[in-house]
Amino acid sequence: MTSGTSPAAIEHLLRELAPQVLGRMTRRFGDFSAAEDAVQEALVSAAASWPVEGLPEEPRAWLTRVAARRMVDHVRAETARRRREQLVVSLIPPEEQLALAADESEPSPQDDALALLFMSCHPALTASSAIALTLRAVGGLTTGETARGFFVPEATMAQRISRAKQALREAGASFELPAPEDAVRRLPSVLHVLYMIFSEGYSASSGAALQRSDLAFEALRLTRLLHAQLPQAAEVVGLYALMLLTDARRTARTAADGSIIPLDRQNRALWDRSAIAHGVELVSQALSGEAPGPYAVQAAIAAVHDEAERAEDTDWPQILALYDVLLGLSPNPMAALNQAVALAMVHGPQAGLERLETLGHDPRLAQHHRLDAVRAHLLDRAGDTAAAATCYQRAAERTSSLPERDYLLLRAAHLRDRADG
């Protein structure tokens, strides 16, 4: 055992090793659901003992042994329950079973993690189930951590994960990298799940914190893993670039008290220039093909923002042109809302407000707080202070994010004070 490892480093290591050990257990025992439970128990055991006893010399082997023992117990229990006299597990001594589980002569941990990622994003699963299972199986989060990330009771998340595993069994999902043509079909679902996890981590849809850094970190880590395995896939490159360029602004987005600092007022010296440089390099790669995808275009927009030394240096005409391209590739209400802002920055607030009038008929946006927030911002720029205050107030009433609500209420109060003055 090695001592002196920080709890944060242990947590990071466990999340890195979780999919590797789960891949090994699933491959050896052929039961993903039971293997996933066994690995979770091993992770909990490690999280409790390693900070006290120190890090083992071979952390992955330690987890593998503990998970394998759980799997052997599971197989024995199944043997007794089904009253079968002849099962493979009864013919193999426990020490040989553990040796099999720890065997190194198998596919790489990276291949196993990638297989888990594709399996967790199986077409048979809903988006919410795929996210939950991805965070558990590939991200190494416990059920409690996953539940807290989405503000649901742990029992609810446990049921969601259980249903996801049942859906995989019924769909006959196998633990293996999909064939190339199947991987191409399923890759958009994998990217979508990773993007949703990152988005929720970067701007939490509800709760007391603007950001859930643990979720954003997991999405970045898993996308980095996917990029390492598929470095030439343009949309994988594009999504990885988008996450890097967006997350680079993370520390500048909130004040010490947790209140929101909008993009145009952020201290850009706090932005992660190393991440920005890497992201810009990836954007160039993603855009070099004949037909860039939506993630690559979104990454290009993020790069234009990040490369501006000051807010007033932002190349809004280029951003507007990129949004036109993005909406041509993937019509999306939030992208259309952002396009209205870019339109206002290029052609004036009235042009943006006219665009919002058409967007207000979209049922996906009509009751969304961000439509009111953008309208308030543009009305303020157009000089209609009273109407802007009303829209900010309505936006605050419609959001479930406490930091967003506080920011919108503050803007409304500020405008009312200005109107009264």
Q: How confident is the model at residue 184 (pLDDT cuts 50, 70, 90)?
A: confident
Judged against a pLDDT cut of 70, whether residue 178 lies above it is answered with yes
State phi, psi for 293 to the nearest 5 degrees.
-95, 180
2 or 373: which carries more pLDDT confidence?
373
**pLDDT value for 280:** 98
User: Which stretch of 1-10, 239-248, 369-378 has the lowest confidence by average pLDDT?
Assistant: 1-10
Exposed e or buried b per residue across 236-273, where buried means at least 16 C-beta atoms within 10 angstroms of its C-beta: bbbbbbbbbbbbbbbebbbeeeeebbeeeebebeebbe
All residues at 6 or more sequence positions from 101 whose CB lies less than 8 Å from its CB, including other chains: 24, 25, 28, 29, 64, 65, 67, 68, 71
Q: How far is Cα of residue 10 from the mean position of the Cα atoms in its chain? A: 21
pLDDT at residue number 177: 76
The model's confidence at residue 94, banded by pLDDT at 50, 70 and 90, is low
Specify the range with the lowest mean pLDDT, choosing from 58-67, 68-77, 226-235.
Answer: 68-77
Condensed to tens digits (0 to 9), the pLDDT of residues 124-133 reads 888 888 888 8
* Mean pLDDT on 255-270: 95
Read off the pLDDT of each residue in 361-373 and give the average, rounded to a whole number.
91
Model pLDDT, residue 1: 64
pLDDT confidence tier of residue 4, bands split at 50, 70 and 90 = low
Backbone angles phi, psi at 261, to 5 degrees: -115, 115
**Residue 326 to residue 90: CA distance in whole angstroms:** 59
pLDDT for 151: 65
Confidence of residue 88 (pLDDT cuts 50, 70, 90): very low
pLDDT of residue 316: 98
User: What is d(CA 235, CA 292) in angstroms, rounded to the nearest whole number?
Assistant: 8
pLDDT band at 89 (very low <50, low <70, confident <90, very high): very low
Distance in angstroms (rounded) separating the CA atoms of residues 38 and 78: 14
Task: Give the mean model confidence (pLDDT) for residues 26-46.
Answer: 89
Decide if pLDDT at 372 tops 90: yes
More confident residue, 174 or 411: 411
- 289-323, pLDDT tens digit by residue? 778 899 999 999 999 999 999 999 999 999 999 99
Looking at per-residue pLDDT, the higher value among 90 and 69 belongs to 69
Question: According to the model, what pLDDT value does residue 185 have?
Answer: 82
- The label of the residue with tokens 């679902």 reads 189
Handedness of CA 44, 46, 47, 48 (dihedral sign): positive
Given a cut of 90, whether residue 375 has pLDDT beyond it is yes
Q: Are 15 and 60 in contact (CB under 8 A)?
A: no
Would the pLDDT of 360 be above 70?
Answer: yes
Domain ranges of the chain: 7-106
Among candidate residues 325, 312, 196, the one with its CA nearest the CA of residue 263: 312
Length, in residues, of the chain:
421
Mean of pLDDT values over 175-202: 85
Specify the pLDDT at position 106. 55
Binned at pLDDT 50, 70 and 90, residue 98 comes out as low
- The residue-averaged pLDDT of 317-335 equals 95
Query: In this structure, what is the dihedral angle of CA atoms 160, 155, 46, 80, given to the nearest 10 degrees?
Result: -80
Q: Is the pLDDT of residue 263 over 60?
A: yes
Q: What is the pLDDT of residue 82?
A: 55
User: Are the CB atoms for 142 and 16 separated by under 8 Å?
Assistant: no
DSSP string, 39-76: HHHHHHHHHHHHHHH-B-SSHHHHHHHHHHHHHHHHHH
Q: Which helix (H) or strand (E) holds 401?
A: strand 400-401
Angle at CA of residue 245, ends 344 and 272, nearest 5°: 115
- Cα 18 from Cα 16, distance rounded (Å): 6
Percent over 90 (pLDDT), the chain: 52
Predicted pLDDT at 173: 84
Q: Is the pLDDT of residue 101 over 50?
A: no
**Residue 202 near residue 246 (C-beta atoms within 8 A):** yes
E-assigned strand segments in 182-302: 206-207
* Helix-, strand-, coil-residue percentages of the chain, each rounded to 5: 75, 0, 25
